Every structure is written in C-alpha cells, then in structure tokens.
Chain A
C-alpha cells in the first residue's frame, strides 16, 4: 500500500481503515457484553469433558473466570484492531476469537454442570459436513465463473435419491445415485446459464424450486405410503481408521466418522491440489477470472464450465446423501433447511478456497451444534432463537466478509463468444 505523505491533510479515512475501526469497536463492545452478561454473577465451575467417559480427560474452570478472561482478550483484540489491525490474519483472528466467545458462552450456560466437549466437536464435524459439500460445490462452480444457487436443490435431490435408491438397491448404490442426481441438476443449471445465458441466480433458484417441488411431490405420492419400501435405507455407520482413530480426543472427532467425512477430507485435498497445481486447475481458474483471455488461448470456455459445474453437481448430490444415508436414515420434505445457502456463505467466508470452505463450514457447524447443546442445557433462551443461530451467523458472515474477499473476476457473467 503506497503511503500518503505525512503532511497531507486527510479529508476522510480510506475504506479499509474504517472497516478495521468498526471491527475494533465490535470487539470492545463484545468485551463489555461478555463481562456483564457472562462474567458477573456467574457462579460455579464448568467441566468440559474431552474423553469418552466422564472423568477421563476433563477440563474444569470457573465459569465466571473463563468469561472474565474472554472479556479481557476481546478488549485487547479491540485495542490492537483499532490501532494496528491484523492485516491478512484478520479473519483467522476473528474466527479464533469467536471460538473463544463460544467457549465462554458455553461455560456460562453450563455453569455448575459438566458438558461433553468431545461430543460437541463430533456434532460440529457432522453438522459441518453437508455445509462443506455445499461450499465445495460452490467453489468448483464459481472458480469457473458460474454462480450456483442451485446447491440447495442438489443437496435435497441427493438426499432423496440416497434414501430411495439406498432402500431399493443398497446404500452404496444410493450414494452413486445421489451424486448422479446432483450432476444432472447441475447439467440443467449449466445449460440454462451457459447455453441460454439465463441469469445464473435465477437459474439456480429455479433448480432449487424444481428440486423442492419434485422431491416433495414424489415424497408425498410414493414415500409416505410405501415407507418401508422406498424410504428405509438405513444409516451408514462410522468407520474407524486404525491408529489415527485411537488418538485421544482428536481421533474420535476426526477419524471415527462415516464415509462422508472421509470423502470430504479427500475432496478438500484433491480440489486444492487440482486447482492450484494442475493444468486443469489453471485453465479452470482462468475461465473464471478472464474467460476472453482463456478463449484466445484456445481453451474451450464453454466446455470447461460445463464440466466443472457438473463436477460441482456431483459433489453437492453426494453431500446431500449425507442427510439421509449419513444422518437421519429417511427422507423428509425440505430436510436440507437452507444448508445449501449456508454452504454458499461458507464458500465466501472461505474465500473460494477448498481449505477455507472446510474451515468456514466447521464454524457454521459449530454454531449448529452449539444450538443443539444449548437446547439440552436448558438455559432459558427460547428454542426458536437458538434455531435461528446458524442463519444469523450466516448473515453476519456475509455482511462482514464479502466486501473484503474477491470472487473470481468473471463470476456470474455469461460468456458470449461471437
């Protein structure tokens, strides 16, 4: 950043400085809220259980003390933010600070009791999974310049196909069918957006509405009456990875989960490597950043977009099967409840990078599992407000982050080749 000469009189502060200032005040404001809300008057200790059985690995802290500590940290962060700022690490620091806040909040909510942190982290990873698949699907599509609002529809259709095909044939077949269903919907999106140059957001909304209608229709017509035949695939159980799965705490959370989580890890690694190291990745990204340039170098923009969007659909479809084959075991109408859109927010929060998407999904997953835990703890906060939590978090993320992150330059713009 080229500095302005010292003697120049500024008439107003640059945008970045104002943003940083707002964040700084937010930190300080939260510090105050934390102190008065969670620290004052909170009695008792809270025990965070980190092992399988109570007493195995425990962390006991004074709930009030934890809150005070958090409050102080936030005040400090606010101070740094207002003066120097954190530069590139702002988002990471913010995420960590929010994690600490959640911790303190939990401490307050569970004061005098104990709480299974491992359990919470397990549910975090589980809740993050469909969101992550959605986000990865979004990354795949947007990196070539196609906005995919249809992810919600693809997740839902994947869930449906997973349940039905899983019941009729086998769960593995259900997985394949789910992915394919997502791929077909993505093809429809691609055709609308690329060939007919329909506004991509409309096309995505259409796909989602259509998927919602279709799955609800078929669910009502077929599944409700013949549940045992069509809607009874069972749940794919967890598979423990030898060695890694035995590591205390971490092993249980990350390496003793079902196949979806493992596929998610592989996908993050594969996509990161693919996008940034291979020819396919370079060409795909060029299509998303400057399709005209790519075209003049002989890269087939249309085909690249078709292929990547369909890959995105396969990912979303597969991820959708998580709802049925990985979690609930049966299909319910509209069971995705907005997770596809949250996935898009995670994609933005993660700056269109597969690893960022995973990280962001974990944040949202945490919000989800936090809400479940709070309901159990019976804190006196009405359940409806708890249910709102993931959605409110999404709004805050999208409002706070999107201005800073840069999407691929040609995102959302149809490519017109004469």
Chain B
C-alpha cells in the first residue's frame, strides 16, 4: 500500500496538446504543436515575438479554436468553446495584459463570472466573496485589500489579483504569460517564490517568457517555439542563454550590442525640476532633473508605470508639464508642441507605435511624411507633392531594410518589427540632434531588434544625443552609456553603463534607497 501522500503527489500528465494547428489568413500561427504538462512541474514556453506562444495559449484557454489537433485534460479530449469551458476544466490564465476592470474593486474583479449569490432578489453576496478572497490571499501569500479599486493599485498588486482570480476558480493548470515584464528584479524573485509554492501544491504550470535568464531559473523543462513549430526542448541543466537564443531564432544570436565607448559632447537636452500630472491629477513625474549630451546614450530604467511614459510625453510635447523646465540646446522648450520640437531636430520613437506613431490605414509613404508633410520637399505651400513622397519612401524602405512589396500597401499589413523600422526610418533619416526612443523594441522579432539597436548606436556615433526609455533591463544595460533609474516619478539613481549590474539596478527600481 502506498502512503496516501505519494498517491496524491504521483506524477501524472495533467495536460496534453497533440498536433495543434491554427491558421490565420496568410500565416500558420501554430504548426502541429505537441506539448505536455505534468502536475507539480513548470513547463517553460520560449519563443520570440510572433512565434505563436500567445496564439497557442489562446487556443488552450478557449479564446480561439484549433483547426487541427486536440487538447487533453487529464487524459480526456476537451472541446473548449470558450473560456468558460477552459475554466471549468481547471485551466487558469494570468494574462500578459491584465484582464481587470479598472473601475471595479478587487473582489468584484475576482468573482466576476462566478459570483456567490445570496441576499434578496438574487443579489451578489459580497461579504462571502470578500471572505473567500482573503482566504486565498493569506493561503498563498498574496496580500490584497478586497475593497480597493483596481485602477488605484500599483501594477505588482494587480498581478496578484490576476493570480487570485485563477486560484478562486480552482485552476489546476496555470498559464503565466510574460508575467515579469512589470516587475523589478527583486519582485521577480518574490514572484518566483509564489510560482514555486503553486508548483509544490501540485499545480501544473506553463510559464511563458522571452527572457532567457528567467527561463533558466524557473522552468523544469523548456519547449522552444519558432514560427509556430516546436523546434526543440531543453532543460536548464543542459542549456545556456546562447543555446536557447539560437533555438529561438534559428541562428546564432549576438546577445551583446556592439559599441565603442561614448564621447559625450555638449549638453543637448536639459530637464530641470519637471513635474507632470496625469489626467486624474496624480503627480506622476515629481521633480525630475537630468541632462543628455551629444554623442551619448542615456537609458531610463524602471518598471513601467513609474512615470516614464509621462516623462517622455512631456519632453516630446504630447503633454504639458505643470512645473519645471526643459531646455534644448539652451532654448526653452518646456511648453513646446511636437511640431516645434520636430523643427528643432528632435526625433521621437513613440512607446505605442500603432496608437501614436503610425496611421495604420495610410500607406507607407503617407506614414513616412507624417511629421514633415507640411514643408519642402513634400509640399509647396498648400499643395502636396505625393510623387516625391512616394519616391523618397522607396529609398527609405531600401535603406532601412523594411520588408514590404511596395510603398502603396497600408501600414497595418506590416509586421511589428517592420512597422517599428518604418518609424525609425522616418525619424532617423533627418538630421537629428536629439532622439527620444520609448520602448523601442517592444513586441518585435529578434532580427529587427538587432537592427534597431545598431541604428541607435550609429546615431549616437554621428553625434546625436539619445534618450532611451525601456522596461527591458537587458536592453537598457546593453545600450546605455549612462543609466538613470526611475521610481514613483523620481530619478532615484544614476549609474555608469559599464558599472551597472542587474541586481543593483533592480534594487533601485524597487525603491530601495541608494
């Protein structure tokens, strides 16, 4: 007779994906994918942006339906028609972009869809709901205030709510989709602790990330997806970052950016005591001061949501600060609008390329003249010179390696990487004194990432002052000559690029005082 505990902990395959295939017009997102997840293990799913990881998980979660193949839960074929079925089968997903309703409180978000009913006229029993939330919260070490409004909560806490949601529904298989993009290195460690304790209680876990270091640390087994196919698997014991990167991309990848020492010149951008408020009148940039010199790359590190977005918007004229000064080459541009900055040779690669940087319905050359259409050579007075714009666009497409059949297609048909290259082409093809790039390589393929990084270094070597804002610590550390760390609206540290370590920066990003 086996002891009861070992029966419960017996290794069994909880989830199996067999031959799962999903096609979209023009692309095979998943191609005959086979995966298994056992209880009490963490399966790492690795792949670059566009490899098909999110599609696969959406199929698992019932948001999409597979064209071919099956999903087996505990040995039985499952036909999910929607997330409700997946939830009922014990699958829980912690999404990359939180699925929380900002104007509801924590409890409402957790119980949405499975609300306990009590009270008169079939009303929701909120007291019972809150009790259960606190139960789970204390059991797994996920502290939350059940009555807090989600939109007031910091991102790290919001993630806990996502996890509680999953546990509330008694998930046995939990999928984490890029969970660490909003955490500081220290918070990541804490988070890993929670994941390990979930594993210990017998859950099967799928951990999706593109960060190689994390994958090696947390996963028991790793499956690598490339262009929709599983191209290999590995275990942390026998894999390295380089070997994983090579499997992900299909060729050896240079993980380090090739650059020489910087030779900084004069101060180009000077930010002094800048204060910015968001639409809800919270002060999100609180007395920030720094300089950027010609020929140097200054990187702003920090978890997203600490004011970086608003800082960039204030500098680039998209938002007006409440107090402070911004000077460009000695000239006061505090309240300057985007066009004035454009004319002062400032380039801006925006954080949200689809929302701010491109007009998706316009074609490529219309997009390429988005900020310079009003002057020669693209227009004379009021008259646009479209043939000229088109001609010039062909040159830029060539120069900046934008993969497209013609300049006449609409920008929406470009891949993320090519869209970003389009924006870079637009911004860098002029003579620029200052470049502000916000999350320049978010969500794009490795090839494009390499390209854009090299272009940025090129601009620096030609004498431009460069300000990079990125929540990818690796990127900031690789590119920057000088690193500033932003936390809760303030610059809390300044470190030379060569001296910086992830641990040290992580501490600053989490608010530890220097």
Interface residues of A (CB under 8 A from B): 1-5, 8-12, 14, 16, 273, 277-279, 282-283, 285-286, 289-290, 292-300, 406, 409, 417-418
Contact = CB atoms under 8 A, between A and B. Distances in A.
A300 B83 CA distance: 10
Nearest to A2: B283
Nearest to B165: A297
A297 B287 contact: no
A286 B112 contact: yes
Contacts of B165: 297
Interface stretch (B319-327, B383-391, B403-411, B472-480): B319-327
Contacts of A273: 121, 123
State the majority secondary structure of interface residues on B: loop
A278 B113 contact: no
A289 B102 contact: yes
A11 B324 CA distance: 7
A2 B284 CA distance: 9
Contact of B63 (A283, A294, A409, A418): A418
A279 B273 contact: no
Nearest to A279: B115
A279 B118 CA distance: 11
Interface string B101-143: 1111000110011110101011110000000000000000000
B496 interface: no
A296 B321 contact: no
Contact of A299 (B98, B113, B121): B113
B64 interface: yes
A279 B122 contact: yes
A295 B121 contact: no
A293 B281 CA distance: 26
A351 to B, nearest CB: 12
A288 to B, nearest CB: 9
B306 interface: no
B441 interface: no
A279 to B, nearest CB: 5
Contact of B113 (A5, A290, A298): A298
A300 B112 contact: no
Contacts of A283: 112-113
Contacts of A285: 101, 104
Contacts of B95: 296
9 contacts: A2-B281, A4-B322, A4-B323, A8-B273, A277-B124, A279-B115, A290-B101, A296-B93, A409-B103
B87 interface: yes
Contacts of A14: 277, 281, 322
A11 B113 contact: no
B184 interface: no
A292 B64 CA distance: 13
A296 B322 CA distance: 39
Given A14-B322, A278-B124, A300 B104 contact: no
Given A278-B124, A279-B115, A296-B61, A289 B101 contact: yes
B99 interface: yes
B322 A298 contact: no
Contacts, number: 114
Contacts of B101: 285-286, 289-290, 293-294
A401 B9 CA distance: 60
Contact of B275 (A8, A289, A293, A406): A8
A9 B280 CA distance: 20
Interface in B160-212: 165
B237 interface: no
Instruction: Give the interface size class of chain B.
Output: 35 or more
A293 B93 CA distance: 11
Contacts of A3: 283
Contacts of B280: 1
Contacts of A11: 320-324, 334-335
Given A11-B334, A297-B87, 6 more contacts: A4-B322, A14-B322, A290-B99, A296-B95, A297-B113, A417-B63
A65 to B, nearest CB: 42
B168 to A, nearest CB: 11
Contact of B100 (A2, A9, A290, A417): A290
Nearest to B111: A282
A3 B283 CA distance: 7
Contacts of B277: 2, 4, 14
Interface of B: 58, 61, 63-64, 82-85, 87, 93, 95, 98-104, 108-109, 112-115, 117, 119, 121-124, 165, 273, 275, 277, 280-283, 287, 320-324, 334-335
Given A14-B322, A286-B112, A295 B122 contact: no
B122 A298 contact: no
A293 B109 CA distance: 9
A2 B282 contact: yes
B307 to A, nearest CB: 12
A282 B281 contact: no
A278 B335 contact: no
B436 to A, nearest CB: 20
Contacts of B119: 277
A299 B83 CA distance: 8
Nearest to A289: B101
Nearest to A10: B323
B281 A1 contact: yes
B87 A298 contact: yes
A222 to B, nearest CB: 44
A279 B129 CA distance: 12
B477 to A, nearest CB: 31
Contacts of B82: 295, 298, 300
B123 A278 contact: yes
Contacts of A16: 281
B406 to A, nearest CB: 28
A295 B83 CA distance: 7
A278 B123 CA distance: 4
B321 A294 contact: no
Contacts of B112: 282-283, 286, 293-294, 297, 299
Contacts of A293: 98-101, 109, 112
Given A5-B287, A289-B104, A295 B334 contact: no
Contacts of A298: 82-85, 87, 113
Contact of B287 (A8, A292, A295, A409): A8
A294 B334 CA distance: 42
A418 B64 contact: yes
Contacts of A300: 82
A273 B120 CA distance: 11
A4 B87 CA distance: 46
A218 B104 CA distance: 47
Q: Which residue, of B280, B322, B324, has the highest number of chain A Cβ atoms within 10 A?
A: B322
Contacts of B113: 283, 294, 297-299
A290 B162 CA distance: 15
A12 B335 contact: yes
A14 to B, nearest CB: 6
A277 to B, nearest CB: 4
Contacts of B58: 418
Contacts of B121: 273, 277-278
A182 B108 CA distance: 33
A273 B101 CA distance: 20
B102 A279 contact: no
Nearest to A287: B101
Contact of B123 (A1, A10, A277, A299): A277
A273 B283 CA distance: 36
A278 B87 contact: no
Contacts of B87: 297-298
B323 A282 contact: no
A290 B100 CA distance: 7
B21 to A, nearest CB: 16
B104 A286 contact: yes
Contacts of A299: 112-113
B275 A279 contact: no
A279 B324 CA distance: 48
A8 B115 contact: no
A299 B108 CA distance: 14
